[in-house]
Structure 1
Amino acid sequence: MPLLFSQVPQPLRYAEALLQRFATLARAVNADALLGGLVEAAAQLSGSELSQLYLLDDSHTRLTLNAEWQDGLLQPRVVASLPSDYDGEQLLQYCLCQNQVLSLEELDSSLHQIGFLPDTSRAWRSLLCLPLLDEHKRVNGLLLIASQTRRELQGFAASFGHLGSFVIAQLHLLQRLRSPRIDPPTISTITPCASGYGLIGDSAPMRSVYQLIGKVLHNPVSVLLAGETGTGKELVARAIHDCGARRSKAFVVQNCASLPENLLESELFGYRKGAFTGADRDHQGLFDAAHGGTLFLDEIGDMPLTLQAKLLRVLQEGEVRPLGNTETHKVDVRIIAATHHNLRSLVEEGRFREDLFYRLAQFPIELPALRERDQDILTLARHFADKASAFLQRDPCRWADSTLDHLAGYSFPGNVRELKGVVERAVLLCEGGELLPEHFTLRQDTSTDDNGMNLRQRMERVERSLLLDCLRKNRGNQTSAACELGLPRRTLLYRMQRLNISPADV
């Protein structure tokens, strides 16, 4: 007898019944019959009172109950009355995120959260939950069987896994066959994001970013976002939160460079009444405000060293101590940090703790500059123009071909933030319904004609452009720019003076 049926009572009879179910499901002509047939088959083959099927949505982030068989009947599924998500159900999320079969011979309501099971007069005693895989071995949903008598259901896992994967494949086939007839033949909707994470861009560097986001969505590791100013680090952080397991909780943002050390500490950790002059009441810190959710620490490289030590303790121990309090308490917060600095260089200079760096950089994601994803420039420009037109209650603007060429040839040192600003300004200036090159004010450092310039003049122009780009990348911070260029700060200041670069140019 094959190992597949070795733990099933009356294996030959079971194998024959299983083959009949495969044949029946293969003849299903719509999704309802297919999914309903699966939960019916699972309940009847296992002799259980309940069978449920949960499926992930197209973005693979939201879990929904799609079919349920209970006490010999297929339960009606009224979409408006269904829970929209099962994010808080630990047993379901364990199977989903860990891709593991879960078999509990003795359910205990005091130990296990079983709010997803229907209320009945008799308690649920045994449970089997298994992930369903598609042809690419990705989890597409969960199949659950529950019994009101104590039973060993593990023996059904292998065969039900094959049956469920067959149903997933059939469901995808039905969707592909029926999509031409279901989709309206009218104007198609332009989706601004190919990733499903709310981000725009289909270039190779952005696709790499999407892949990294998908790896970290359901894993509670800390994420470090690196990249130049204006590349969209906060958008990526919000995408990780909104599409991950913590999306139902708070997303809290704090810029570490915007507050002095004392204020930043009280904001992050909170304080108790009387902790310092002016503390006339208790104040909840951002770690507590983000409990269960995500805390996004922008410009982490500018955090003072003393606060870095306290942040490290939160990451290691999961506990905080408000100012003026002698006791700590636990918090469950996911940290996503971002910086435009090279943190490794700051570590070597002694300006950033090495242990905190390795703790934050469990999963680093480097965001590409806009000049590295040039094929996305026009897509982003159209998106920003459409949003600006809608905000101003105007018809969408047309784009002249010369305007598109004008944008495509610019490097955008300010990245996506600069592109957004110049496009919104251009829409405001546009009066004839067509965006023209003169509506865009782009900084052109190379506008001087090369004719008549000797080698020294050309080299100075290249050097000036290089220094300006580096200073803008570091938001005018001359020390950081000098460090990146490998120059002493005094040398950088001398070259800025010689090349007539003032802070206003940055």
Structure 2
Amino acid sequence: MFTQVPQPLVYAEALLAQFASLSRAADGAALLGDFVRGLAELSGCELTQLYLLDATHICLGMNAECLNGILQPREAASLPADYNGEQLLQFALCQNRVVSLSELSGSLHETSFLPPQATPWQSLLCVPLVNQQKSVEGLLLCASRRHIDLQGFADSLGQLGSFVLGQLHLLQRLRQPSGVTRPAPVSVPSASGYGLIGKSSAMRQTYSLISKVLHSPYTVLLRGETGTGKEVVARAIHDCGPRRSQAFIVQNCAAFPENLLESELFGYRKGAFTGADRDRAGLFDAANGGTLLLDEIGDMPLSLQAKLLRVLQEGEIRPLGSNDTYKIDVRIIAATHCDLSMLVGEGKFREDLYYRLAQFPIELPALRQREGDILDLARHFAEKACSFLQRDAVRWSDAALNHLSGYAFPGNVRELKGLVERAVLLCEGGELLAEHFSLRLAAMPADSSLNLCEHKAVLPPDNRPNLRERLEAMLEDSSLDLRECLEQVERSLLLDCLRKNDGNQTLAARELGLPRRTLLYRLGRLNINLGDFDG
């Protein structure tokens, strides 16, 4: 580290003295000021600067500057607010590369970030500052009017800068106002220890079902609306079961056309088709001994369903172009947002395969059915987003929490995760506010029938009085409990909308403000078929 600097021993002693001095800094401003002064002493440069990224890790700004041994005031009007347009700085920052130039005046590089001087700047060193998480958080810069090689200082000054970053974060935490409580690291373990987040009764029931099937070889069918976490549950079953040391492979059955999906799953032999110039193992081979998740199983072509049934019944596969079969040991987990029994009735899914897949079904609850879990999940996603962005944890305002609690989340956990990550990006301070969340308020809960009756975006105006009268009559009927009443109202709403659109599901879904897949799921859940709205 010291071989390229003049008088290595003297330099090493001076560097050690800087570490000791900076460790005693009482506040952030003093720490940064002492740091740029120390850079000037160590490098012998007339100018030293420190640039740091803001809390969002988007904007680069100057935080301290020392010119001719004098610390420059940060409020100086000559200092621009950010340096996102400076190519040299952005290159070092984004590429995590040291920039060292000894003939600056004769180069074509833009250096408007350097203060103008009568004698032009000749030498420049720019070193990225890396934090404990190995992420670039800022830059240190040294410049001189003399022609000198500053490259030899890069490693040692970079380590000093990383130390200063750690000290700065420590001082910021220690000096946080006593009235402001930092959010504790959120890790909401489930009662079962499967790593899933949620303490609601619906999730406890899910944990119980997982525990029943965890150590058995039975095929599991995961059902639920889009975004409910079917792949997460499948991975939990694999990671906590006896196959955890083997492969976990996911294949979306809707992602490939029929021929490609077959070769992807079963593999092929050389010469099986045009372009098959070698043998290729399929995903069943890759998952041998482990777990294969077949996502969106309802979209698998009928002809391929027969081959999958053979795998489930006999535990053997035959690659394309081969006459031989061989045994495999793969645990298959299937997942779908569709009602497979309805697809069986329509002739779109094999009945024998359905009963083989539904050996152990697990219905994953929608987020609106998981009382109390929304806030736990939101805090977890916010913590993960802050960790990914290398920024301090954020606090939650009561308004933001209430805002999320009152939303139906038609996209379920996936939608919540996206909303929270976007809010963290938009949050420029340390607190998440309601305005950071862009919620589609027209997407009301499926169980909130009173709101459905009043909301113009989801209910045709000519149907509102009719539905309200039916709702009132149902509420007066003491033989119906609340859930039955709500299901009947939802059923009436869907039937009325389908009749109005002559059975066109796409138009009905658009009028109701729902994705078509969600409408199909609800039609299946309520056992609504084409005959219910004919004529």
TM-score (norm 2): 0.53
Question: Superposition pairs for residues 177-216 of structure 1, below 5 Å?
Answer: 190-194=186-190, 195-216=192-213
Identical aligned residues as a percent:
65
Unaligned runs of 5+ in 2: 1-182, 445-450, 468-492, 498-506
Match of 1:456 among 452, 459, 462: 462
Q: Name the larger-Rg structure.
A: 2
Q: Aligned residue for 2:351?
A: 354
1:279-309 Cα distance to aligned partner (Å, 9 max, x none): 1111101111000000100011111111110
Question: Superposition pairs for residues 102-121 of structure 1, below 5 Å?
Answer: none
Q: Aligned residue for 1:333?
A: 330
Give the AA of the match of 2:373: D
Match of 1:475 among 493, 500, 517: 517
Q: Aligned residue for 1:17?
A: none
Match of 2:440 among 413, 438, 443: 443
Give the AA of the match of 2:187: T
Q: Aligned residue for 2:314?
A: 317
Q: Aligned residue for 1:220?
A: 217
Distance 1:326-1:255 versus aligned 2 partners, 3 A rule? same
Contact 1:229/1:473, CA 8 A, preserved across alignment: no
Question: Superposition pairs for residues 362-441 of structure 1, below 5 Å?
Answer: 362-441=359-438
| CA distance in 2 between partners of 1:217 and 1:487 (Å) | 35
| CA distance in 1 between partners of 2:353 and 2:253 (Å) | 15
Q: Aligned residue for 2:282?
A: 285
Count how many residue pairs are aligned between Structure 1 and Structure 2: 306
| CA distance in 2 between partners of 1:325 and 1:475 (Å) | 38
Tell me, yes or no, if structure 1 residue 307 matches structure 2 residue 304. yes
1:14-64 Cα distance to aligned partner (Å, 9 max, x none): xxxxxxxxxxxxxxxxxxxxxxxxxxxxxxxxxxxxxxxxxxxxxxxxxxx
Distance 1:460-1:259 versus aligned 2 partners, 3 A rule? farther
Give the AA of the match of 1:324: G
Distance 1:406-1:221 versus aligned 2 partners, 3 A rule? same
Question: Superposition pairs for residues 30-41 of structure 1, below 5 Å?
Answer: none
1:181-206 Cα distance to aligned partner (Å, 9 max, x none): xxxxxx98653222311210010000
Distance 1:281-1:446 versus aligned 2 partners, 3 A rule? closer
Contact 2:296/2:335, CA 8 A, preserved across alignment: yes
Tell me, yes or no, if structure 1 residue 253 matches structure 2 residue 245. no
Give the AA of the match of 1:309: A
Q: Aligned residue for 2:294?
A: 297
Contact 2:409/2:415, CA 8 A, preserved across alignment: yes
Distance 1:383-1:436 versus aligned 2 partners, 3 A rule? same
3-state DSSP class of the match of 1:374?
coil
Unaligned runs of 5+ in 1: 1-186, 495-506
| CA distance in 1 between partners of 2:511 and 2:419 (Å) | 18
Question: Superposition pairs for residues 54-203 of structure 1, below 5 Å?
Answer: 190-194=186-190, 195-203=192-200
| CA distance in 2 between partners of 1:377 and 1:469 (Å) | 27
| CA distance in 1 between partners of 2:344 and 2:336 (Å) | 14
Q: Post-superposition shift, 1:468?
A: 5.2
1:158-182 Cα distance to aligned partner (Å, 9 max, x none): xxxxxxxxxxxxxxxxxxxxxxxxx
Q: Post-superposition shift, 1:374?
A: 2.7
| CA distance in 2 between partners of 1:209 and 1:457 (Å) | 38
Q: Post-superposition shift, 1:343?
A: 0.8
Distance 1:420-1:188 versus aligned 2 partners, 3 A rule? closer
Distance 1:474-1:218 versus aligned 2 partners, 3 A rule? farther
Q: Post-superposition shift, 1:488?
A: 4.0
Q: Post-superposition shift, 1:406?
A: 0.6
Distance 1:398-1:489 versus aligned 2 partners, 3 A rule? farther
| CA distance in 2 between partners of 1:434 and 1:466 (Å) | 40
